[in-house]
Amino acid sequence: MSFNTLGLSEALLKAISKKGYTTPSPIQLKAIPPILEGKDILASAQTGTGKTAGFTLPLLHILSENPKEKFRPIRALVLTPTRELAAQVYANVKEYGEFLDIRSAVIFGGVNQNPQVATMRQGIDVLVATPGRLLDLINQNYISLKRVEILVLDEADRMLDMGFLRDIERIIKMMPVKRQNLMFSATFSQDIKKLAHGILNHPVHVEATPENTTVEAISQKVYRVAKGLKTDLIIKLISDGNWKQVLVFTRTKHGANKLCEKMAKAGIKAAAIHGNKSQGARTKALGGFKSGNISVLVATDIAARGLDIPLLPHVINFELPNISEDYVHRIGRTGRAGASGEAISLVSADETAFLRDIEKLVGMKIPIEIMEGFEPDPNASTEPEKRQQRGGGNRSRNNDSHTNTRKNNSSRRPKRNSDRRRNDRKL
């Protein structure tokens, strides 16, 4: 089946053709028709399967079909958890809307708000935003949501993880009750299903792939290794393999910076991207990585959802996430759009429980290897390392780390709004 059969406008089909796409992905095939019919959607899809276009294309079609006012109120709002993801969604809106009379904008924290405010004053149809900056500008009377026709929650599970539940509830109260709601996420916990029940109106449940599975094109492997030998092992893997583009995940900002320093001493060009980095530094690091000037990008989980790097060959978990779903999002940065990719995890004894939970989630035993000279410590404890919690929540976004193994999603408490908005300026 081609895009021509989905009922999209000629202008959208022209933009799709310009990008070189001919066949819609499974999530696009299942989501676009009911969205065009005006139905609410609860959609689950693996990362890298085209779900952004799955809501962007029909959203733009609907807006372009309806009359526009002279001063354009915000008619569609897309909420994302991080500024990287917001920027990626906005880029999609711009690309697919190239031949439409649709104005769009993106707003997020960590940068000067004045250019964003200037754009908003010109009137826009589609706004892509992180919750914190959106509420800040609403409180300053720069933004009104009274005319929103379509609400999209992208990566809704991540927004709950990051403590945005109360903000989402506040934002929803500022919009008309009668509107179309689209909720997209790679995973669906009970918390997400509860949120969906309170927002969506008789939704169509769209699932392109089994929940929480990983892309088949990704080759997964585990290296069992002593904790103190991880840095030497990752340097050996990258150097011996002559790998030119590797995305590495750590749990903490400090760990990302430290690993970059060690790699630089080993002659590997590396850069870190995390919440303490300015927007300029993050953009520069990502640009250098995409262009090939930087071989290794070391990131915390803030980058697990929002980075779109075509044909990324390697992802390495320097440390396993202690929230299992984040493993799916991390390795989903490779194996995108049908390309193959490799995901390697360096697992020490204290991460044994994390590995077991991840294998249970993805429904497979991940192959294990041991490299000579980097053997695991037989006397090391398999108990997870206890980390100091900050901010009173189960997950500290200030520290870009997961501070508690999640046993039950319902046990998580949302951060206070003041804490969350302050943190969102970093996101």
Question: Residue 149's pLDDT band (boundaries 50, 70, 90)?
Answer: very high
410: pLDDT strictly greater than 50? no
Residue 314's H or E segment, with its range, is: strand 314-317
CB contact set of 152 (below 8 Å; sequence gap of 6+): 55, 59, 76, 77, 78, 79, 182, 183, 184
Same domain, 301 and 163: no
Question: Residue 14's pLDDT band (boundaries 50, 70, 90)?
Answer: very high
Q: How far apart are CA 67 and CA 120, in angstroms?
A: 20
Give me the pLDDT at residue 408, please: 38
Give me the pLDDT at residue 405, please: 35
Query: What value does the mean pLDDT of the chain take?
Result: 84
Closest CA to 299 of 312, 314, 282: 282
pLDDT in tens, 41-79: 999 866 667 889 999 999 999 999 987 777 889 999 999
Inter-CA distances, 40 with 7, 81, 180, 278, 364, Å: 18, 21, 6, 37, 33
β pairing state of 204-207 and 104-107: unpaired
Closest CA to 47 of 296, 341, 400: 341
Question: Residue 260's pLDDT band (boundaries 50, 70, 90)?
Answer: very high
160: pLDDT strictly greater than 60? yes
Give me the pLDDT at residue 82, please: 85
Same domain, 288 and 167: no
Same domain, 281 and 196: no
Domain boundary (207, 227, 261) is at: 207
Closest CA to 74 of 107, 41, 99, 110: 107
Same domain, 194 and 292: no
CB contact set of 397 (below 8 Å; sequence gap of 6+): 162, 163, 275, 391, 415, 420, 423, 426, 427
- Triad 416, 87, 31: Cα angle to 5°: 90
Percent of the chain topping pLDDT 70: 84
Give me the pLDDT at residue 110, please: 82
Phi, psi of 186 (to 5 degrees): -80, -25
| Structural domain includes residue 21 | yes
235: pLDDT strictly greater than 60? yes
Give me the pLDDT at residue 426, please: 44
Q: How far apart are CA 323 and CA 327, in angstroms?
A: 8
pLDDT in tens, 350-359: 999 999 999 9
Structure tokens that stand for 417 in this block: 């709004």
Same domain, 21 and 62: yes
Q: How many Cα atoms sit within 13 Å of 104 on the Cβ side?
A: 27
Q: pTM for the whole thing?
A: 0.68
308: pLDDT strictly greater than 60? yes
Domain boundary (207, 233, 249) is at: 207
| 107 bridge partner residues | 129
Closest CA to 420 of 170, 83, 162, 172: 162
With beta carbons less than 8 A apart as the criterion, state whether 231 and 264 touch: no
pLDDT in tens, 327-386: 887 887 776 655 678 999 999 999 999 999 999 988 889 999 999 999 999 998 988 876
Buried b / exposed e across 226-261, counting CB within 10 Å, b at 16+? bbebbbebbbebbeeeebebbbbbbbbbbbbeebbe
Percent helix, strand and coil across the chain, each rounded to 5? 40, 15, 45
300: pLDDT strictly greater than 80? yes
Same domain, 28 and 138: yes
Give me the pLDDT at residue 91, please: 93
Same domain, 196 and 230: no
Q: How far apart are CA 269 and CA 267, in angstroms?
A: 6
Same domain, 52 and 12: yes
Question: In this structure, what CATH number is given to the domain that contains residue 112?
Answer: 3.40.50.300
Phi, psi of 386 (to 5 degrees): -85, 135
Q: Return the top range by mean pLDDT from 170-174, 321-325, 395-399.
A: 170-174
| Structural domain includes residue 357 | yes
- DSSP E strands in 75-215: the ranges are 76-79, 104-107, 126-129, 150-154, 180-185, 204-207
Single-letter amino acid, residue 273:
I
Same domain, 75 and 189: yes
Q: How many domains does the chain have?
A: 2
Domain region containing 333: 218-369
3-state secondary structure of 300: coil
Top-confidence residue, 171 or 331: 171
Q: How far apart are CA 223 and CA 241, in angstroms?
A: 15
Q: How many Cα atoms sit within 13 Å of 125 on the Cβ side?
A: 20
Average pLDDT over residues 140-163: 90
Average pLDDT over residues 77-84: 90
Structure tokens that stand for 180 in this block: 């179309």
Question: Residue 424's pLDDT band (boundaries 50, 70, 90)?
Answer: very low
174: pLDDT strictly greater than 70? yes
Single-letter amino acid, residue 184:
F
With beta carbons less than 8 A apart as the criterion, state whether 167 and 417 touch: yes
87: pLDDT strictly greater than 50? yes
Same domain, 69 and 177: yes
Q: How far apart are CA 243 and CA 112, in angstroms?
A: 37
Structure tokens that stand for 365 in this block: 């035993």
With beta carbons less than 8 A apart as the criterion, state whether 75 and 101 touch: no
251: pLDDT strictly greater than 80? yes
Rounded to a whole number, what is the largest CA-CA distance in the chain? 71
Same domain, 202 and 223: no
Give me the pLDDT at residue 294, please: 93
Give me the pLDDT at residue 390, please: 35
